[in-house]
């Protein structure tokens, strides 16, 4: 698998996780095993594939809150959910540890 394909699969898996529950960086680290910096970069790069993701402030201090998908662009979240096992398998084959 190419580096670009792994990055694309990683974005889809991460977008699915964000949409499925109220996740912050710590819970995403726990769910995926990905390093914090990789998560931050991947979340920031979701817009590159047309998925809009924002951080929702939900607490008295900065960085208390969760991520939310507000627009899937051309992507079908149902297709991603159905193909999640295959996407995860592709990432695992590339030595990445998705949830």
CA distances from residue 93 to 1, 20, 30, 50, 67 in whole angstroms, order as listed: 8, 24, 20, 25, 27
Q: How many helices (H) and strands (E) does the chain have?
A: 5, 2
Query: Which CATH class for the 3-93 domain?
Result: mainly alpha
Q: Output the pLDDT for position 95.
A: 54
pLDDT averaged over every residue in the chain: 90
pTM (whole model) above 0.85? yes
Domain limits, the chain:
3-93
**Tens of pLDDT along 9-47?**
999 999 999 999 999 999 999 999 899 999 999 999 999
């Amino acid at each position: 698998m190419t580096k670009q394909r792994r990055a694309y699969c990683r974005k889809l898996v991460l977008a699915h996780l964000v949409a499925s529950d109220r996740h912050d960086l710590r819970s995403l680290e726990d769910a995926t095993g990905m390093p914090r910096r990789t998560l931050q970069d991947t979340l920031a790069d979701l817009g590159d594939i047309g998925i809009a993701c924002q951080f929702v402030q939900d607490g008295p201090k900065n960085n208390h809150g969760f991520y939310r998908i507000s627009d899937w662009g051309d992507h079908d979240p149902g297709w991603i959910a159905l193909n999640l096992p295959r996407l995860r398998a592709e990432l695992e084959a590339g030595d990445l540890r998705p949830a």
